Amino acid sequence: MNSLSSSSSEDTILADLLAYCDAHKIEISPNISIRRVPGKGLGVYTTQPLNPGDRVMHVPTAALLTTTAVPNSFASKETRKDIPVHALLAAYLTFGLSEAKRDGYARWMATWPCLTDFTWTVPIFWPERLRTPLKVHDHEFRVFPPSLTGTWTSSELQKSTTKMTLLDEQLAKFESHMHAVAQMFPDHADALLSQSDPLHWSFIHNWNAVNSRCFYYVRAGQRPPKDSNEAMALCPGMDLFNHIDDVGCKTTYDKRGYYVTAEQAYNAGQEVLLNYGAHGNDMLWTEYGFTMDRNKFDGLRLDEAILATLTEGQRKVLEEAEYLGEYWLRPDGEEAGVCWRTEVVSYLGVLSQNQWYRFIEGKLDPGKFPGSLHDGKRKRDDVAAQESPLVRAKRKQISWIEKIEKEAQNSLQGLLSLASLDEMVRYFADDESVLEAQGVDRRDLQQTKIEQAQSRHRMCVQRWRQILRLSKNALEKLRKDLPTDDDWRTAAESTDLEQRIDEFMERG
């Protein structure tokens, strides 16, 4: 496998990795190469065609980095019971490697993302002030989508469930791991828990490296743990495959090691990709620090928009029927549009209770009725009640998605209103003390803050644009089912905003 790169130093790094793989008997198809693409980082590309079933890579068991590589002198069998595997591996890489071991891993670890690749992109390491609404030029808006933080700017949309948000969950996971390590290694505790200490950031670097580069792995003869997060291995070479939301390559393992096998045909020059899982963009952003403009697994959770419109009685009915919460809007594809659970709740109040139960049991199809079905409340002069149940349910769905659309528009207008670099740095950049602890030279602080702020700000614009497009596409689809004489509001303002977004992204 020949490496292609943009510089002699890059050539050296990739050549060293290939030498490391060769020394550890890692088998790599002669039809692929590793190279760096601007804006994407390292990836695996074909030099010759691949066919479905072709083996792309084999990493033998001896080359995997698992907890078996952690010596008992660092963590005894007894103490390992009290610390997650993820945290143990991160601690070992941070301050447990012997000089010889560190030198041994150096050629492989040189291809790992650097600290800023994580702290600039993974939201839990951004300033805490960004998790609550910002008010800039008298405009209040959210930096992160509510799926990450659980709060909205609109008074109509309140957090209606007690479920932890993605950001809450990931932050709780990281902090629990860090405190478990601090408790297990008290000599390092003060430094580990201090943002002004380089060790704190070294641990963050390694914690993210493990989090973003591990594969599910259970040793031969070992029972799978109840928590899948406790079964992990780092696989040299395999960690360079980027993500795809479709068929790419599959990974398998046995007692001889890990394998990557092509599941589709690749022409020469194509990037060879792995599917990390059925992850929406909010999950990808929270876990790995990136989103995809085209992602069939993306979606918008509609719980807050929907639950805010329900009475306590309606919530109780939904809970008893096991339809309370988990309402989703999906992008194009087989499951495009609102999910079944959202359809179910949209007919609540449109149908009588008896009709609604028959509907969820599959015994009644409201779409087959051209006129109204009796909901127990209709009056003769109630024009809306004369509409078909399908139209009335669609109107409810539209009203919920419009709230998401307005929230996206509001956040994008707010983000684009940051007119100066000073404003962007004030909100999006880390404090100088934090950057210095990360190893940034004082002479480079201002430029680093500018680049960091611009990078983070751009990620937020990108995600909100994805949300806006997803909601607009869904609204267009739903409105096709409504009477043609409906007087929909003009789209001029929305079009102007989209043009501003496109211009901003093109400048990037």
DSSP 149-166: HS--SSTT------PPPH
Written as six digits, the tokens of 392 are: 């009335």
Specify which of 34-48, 119-133, 471-485 reaches the highest per-range mean pLDDT.
119-133
Reported as a single tens digit per residue, the pLDDT across 429-462 is 999 999 999 999 999 999 999 999 999 999 999 9
pLDDT of residue 159: 46
Residue 282 has pLDDT above 50, yes or no: yes
Strand, helix or coil at 136?
strand
Measured between alpha carbons, how far is 448 from 459 in angstroms, rounded to an integer? 17
More confident residue, 37 or 142: 142
Residue 39 has pLDDT above 80, yes or no: no
pLDDT of residue 5: 36
pLDDT of residue 17: 95
- Kindly state the percentage of the chain with pLDDT values over 70: 89
Tell me the mean pLDDT in the region 153-169. 65
Q: What is the mean pLDDT of the chain?
A: 89
Reported as a single tens digit per residue, the pLDDT across 361-396 is 999 998 777 655 554 554 444 555 578 899 999 999
Reported as a single tens digit per residue, the pLDDT across 473-487 is 999 989 987 876 554
Reported confidence tier of residue 18, pLDDT bands at 50, 70, 90: very high
Reported as a single tens digit per residue, the pLDDT across 331-361 is 865 567 899 999 999 999 999 999 999 999 9
pLDDT of residue 152: 57
Measured between alpha carbons, how far is 327 from 307 in angstroms, rounded to an integer? 10
pLDDT of residue 333: 57
pLDDT of residue 3: 36
Written as six digits, the tokens of 126 are: 């951004």
pLDDT of residue 302: 92
The alpha helices in 347-440, defined as continuous H runs, are 353-360, 389-416, 421-428, 432-437
Residue 2 has pLDDT above 50, yes or no: no
Q: Which amino acid is at 323?
A: Y
Measured between alpha carbons, how far is 10 from 4 in angstroms, rounded to an integer? 9
- The domains found in the chain, sorted by start residue, are 1-60+235-285 (2.170.270.10), 65-146+162-232 (no CATH), 299-508 (no CATH)
Reported as a single tens digit per residue, the pLDDT across 287-332 is 999 999 999 999 999 998 999 999 999 999 999 999 999 999 988 6
pLDDT of residue 366: 87
Phi, psi (5° rounding) for residue 338? -75, 150
What is the CB neighbour count within 10 angstroms for residue 28? 20
Written as six digits, the tokens of 459 are: 């990620």
What is the CB neighbour count within 10 angstroms for residue 82? 11
Q: Which amino acid is at 207?
A: W
Tell me the mean pLDDT in the region 418-423. 87
Q: Which positions ≥6 away from 149 have C-beta within 8 Å?
A: 131, 132, 142, 165, 167
Under 8 Å between Cβ of 268 and 49: yes
